[in-house]
Amino acid sequence: MSLDELKVGCFYSNGAYGRTWGVRQLLEILTDDGSGAPRARFRGVAGVCRRKKGHCSPAEFAQWAKHRVELLENDWKRAPDEPATS
């Protein structure tokens, strides 16, 4: 994914199969007090990421995230692409 596609509050999957699959929610993108670098804070909600919290650079999060997902019934599904805005 590109950095421009990331949205705070949305859920993302790494697109993996089996035991390495995971879903994370992007909680916020903030500036690190010590270094001044941007940081993405997330929480794991499913799969290998479940019940884990973490942070990384927004670029690392975008590299991990293969697509945005939504919970439908009891299953995580790839979210439909959003139309481009003019």
pLDDT (0 to 100) of residue 80:
87
| Contact yes or no for 22/49 (Cβ under 8 A) | yes
pLDDT digits (tens, 9 = 90+) for 44-81: 999 998 999 999 999 999 999 999 999 999 899 999 87
pLDDT at 83 over 70: no
- For the four alpha carbons of 53, 21, 56 and 69, in that order, the dihedral sign comes to negative
pLDDT (0 to 100) of residue 86:
44
Cβ neighbors of 38 (< 8 A, separation 6 or more) are: 29, 30, 31, 32, 57, 58
**Which residue ranges form the domains of the chain, and what is each CATH number?**
3-67 (2.30.30)
Full-model pTM: 0.88
Q: What is the mean pLDDT of residues 34-41?
A: 92
Q: How confident is the model at residue 82 (pLDDT cuts 50, 70, 90)?
A: low
Instruction: Tell which wins on pLDDT, 82 or 6.
Output: 6
d(CA 82, CA 84): 6
**Tokens 């690190």 correspond to what residue?**
32
pLDDT at 24 over 90: yes
